[in-house]
A and B are shown apart, each in its own frame.
Chain A
C-alpha cells in the first residue's frame, strides 16, 4: 500500500508549481489555469486523507471545492473577457489602473 505521505508530497509539489506559475506568468488565462492547478493539489490532499482515515467528509468537501472552481471559472473568464475588451491585451501588467 502506498504511504499517505507520498500523496501529500505530490500534492505539495503540485501546489508549489501552481504558486510559482501564478507568480511567474503574465498572461491572465495562464494565471487562472495555475490557480486551478492549486485547487487540484488541495483536492488530492483531501481525497488522500479521506481514504486513509475512512471518513467521507473529505470527498464531500472535494465536491464543494469543484463547485467553487466551476463558479470561479465562469466569473473569472467573464472578467478576463471584459479586461480584454477594454485593453486589447491579456497581460496583467497592462491592467494596472488601480496602482497609482
Chain B
C-alpha cells in the first residue's frame, strides 16, 4: 500500500517537474511546481514526517508560490519565444556526459542498496517527525541557528524593500541634506528656469546659503 502510494506520488512529482521545465508560459510553470510541492508533501507523510509535510504546504505551496504567482501577474509576463540554441556543437558532448552521470548514479544507488543502510531502521522510536520532537530540538540544541534564521529573515525583508523601492524618487535638481530630505524637497522646486545642476551640501546651513535662504527666519528642527 505504501509502495503504491510512493510510486503514484513519485510519478506525479517527476511528471510535474518535467512539465515545469517544458512549459513556456511562466504561469503554467508555477502550477506545475505547486503540484511538485503537493506530491512532495505526500512523500513526507509516507516518511512519517507530518510536521515537515504541513509546513511544506503552508510555506512553499502557500506563501512562496503565492508570491511567485503574484509577481507573474504583476509583471504580465509573455510566453518565452524559442531562440536558436547557442553552442550547438556541445550537444553530443552533453549527451555523453549525461550518460556517464546516469551510470555513476545508478552504480551508487545499487551500492547503497547493497550496503545495509536500510537495516539501520529499527522498530519503534517512530516519533522523529512529530512536531513535539522537532520543537524540542529546535528550541534546545539548535536554538542559536533558529535565532540566526530570524536575523536572516529580517535582512531579507530589508533587502526586498530596498530593491523594490522606486530608485528615482530624488530628482537631479533636488538638494539632498542628510537627515532632512523634506527641506530639500520643498526648497528646490520653485524656480523652473534655474540650471539643472544638483547642489550638494553637508549641513542645513550650507544648503540655505546655496539657495539664498540664509536670512529667512524659519523653524529649526532643534527648537
Contact = CB atoms under 8 A, between A and B. Distances in A.
B152 A59 contact: no
B128 A59 contact: yes
Contacts of B157: 74
Contact of A53 (B2, B72, B120): B120
Contacts, number: 201
B33 interface: yes
A98 interface: no
B14 A81 contact: no
Interface in B43-66: 43-44, 46-49, 51-52, 55-56, 59-60, 63-64
A95 interface: no
A58 to B, nearest CB: 9
A81 B77 CA distance: 11
Contacts of B33: 33, 36-37
A89 to B, nearest CB: 9
B184 interface: no
Most buried by A among B63, B77, B128, B159: B128
Nearest to A53: B120
Contacts of B51: 59
B10 interface: yes
Contacts of B183: none
A34 B20 contact: yes
B188 interface: no
A2 B160 contact: no
